[in-house]
Amino acid sequence: MRSRSVLLLAALLACASPRVSRAEDILHTERSLYRQIVVYQEGSVRCMRFTRLASARQSCVDLADRPRLVFEYLRMMIGALYLAPAPQSVLVIGLGGGTLVDALQRTLPDAAIDAVELDPAVVRVAKAYFDFQPGPRTHVHEEDGRVFVKRALRAGRRYDLVMLDAYDHEYIPEHMLTREFLEEVKGILAPHGVVAANTFSGSRLYDHESATYAAVFGRFFNLKRSNRVILLRKDGLPDTQTLRANADTLRPKLGPTGIDPAWLLSLFDTRVDWPPDARVLTDRYSPSNLLNASPP
């Protein structure tokens, strides 16, 4: 039985991410206060991961084509602009290599951006190895994302766009999965504010996450590939005609990112694909350690 388990584990690791080969050049490793950080490169693509396992990648940039977004999920996150194409204030929780913030700076040069990252080492690595350069209207805050949201709520700050992309080496930190946290996020949204949240489409938390977002915000767009991105607007979802019009308006700006509007619009879906009795996650019930959210 033990030999079968070992063989199964080896097979899963081998198939987890076929795009990552063994011919990677390790550029940097360090153990921060929060995680193991590894920076490596394959060809022109440089990546960061928070584990020694080659199958996991938190952030990647193509050095030969920096504006192009390597990950599908980032293109899906940028789809938030189809709901509101000209946000003036943006909050990004989770920095990684800074690729999402960089794309927003290129696309929205006049927007004020707050980027929040718990781990100062990640910020240093993003600047040193991914050439992340905060623009004049971008401010990087080294603190816990939920703490930042609570302080913003008390200060009365409002954001047109909030992007949730905080991960540790396994999944989203459990205190940023709960109804109470999402209520706090809702509280810092402007009247027409938009939320984009990066999750996994194959997580055992999927039903609970879906029920929790629905309990706080109502209907949302559910974009699914290997990752699942939730897109929603505080005052309700726009119709298909509005989405297409916004996509056409943004096409010249988003072209360098590699986004195909037809592909992206085809992913917008509002169908409820979770059971009606799925339990909402709360600060008192958020068993992400039991419902292990391993990626597919």
Res 202: pLDDT: 86
Res 58: pLDDT: 84
Give the separation between CA 72 and CA 102, rounded to whole angstroms. Answer: 16
In a domain? residue 30: no
**Beta strand 112-116 pairing with 189-200:** unpaired
Res 283: pLDDT: 93
Q: Which of 160, 165, 168, 207 is catalytic?
A: 165
User: Which residue, 16, 71, 25, is CA-closest to 44?
Assistant: 25
In a domain? residue 284: no
Give the separation between CA 231 and CA 217, rounded to whole angstroms. Answer: 10
In a domain? residue 295: no
Give the separation between CA 163 and CA 93, rounded to whole angstroms. Answer: 6
Q: Report the predicted TM-score, pTM, of the whole model to 2 decimal places.
A: 0.89
In a domain? residue 140: yes
Contact 146, 123 (CB under 8 A): no
Res 279: pLDDT: 94
The token duo for 247 is: 């996509």
User: Which residue, 38, 11, 35, is CA-closest to 27?
Assistant: 38
DSSP class per residue in 101-145: HHHHHHH-TTSEEEEE-S-HHHHHHHHHHS-----TTEEEE-S-H
In a domain? residue 292: no
First vs last C-alpha separation in the chain: 24
Res 288: pLDDT: 65
Query: In tens digits, what is the pLDDT along the chain, a chain of 296 residues?
Result: 434 333 333 333 333 333 444 468 999 999 999 989 999 999 999 999 987 555 568 899 999 999 999 999 999 999 999 999 999 999 999 999 999 999 999 999 999 999 999 999 999 999 999 999 999 999 999 999 999 999 999 999 999 999 999 988 778 999 999 999 999 999 999 999 999 999 998 888 999 999 999 999 999 999 999 899 999 999 999 999 999 999 999 999 999 999 999 999 999 999 999 999 999 999 998 776 555 544 44
Count the domains in the chain.
Answer: 1
Contact 163, 146 (CB under 8 A): no
In a domain? residue 65: no
207 is catalytic: no
**Alpha-carbon torsion (238, 76, 65, 88), positive or negative:** positive
Residue 236 belongs to a domain with what CATH number? 3.40.50.150
Distance, C-alpha 283 to centroid of its chain: 21
In a domain? residue 77: yes
Which range marks the domain in which residue 218 is found?
72-266
CA distances (Å), origin 160, targets 258, 267, 282:
24, 23, 25
3-state secondary structure of 93: strand
In a domain? residue 125: yes
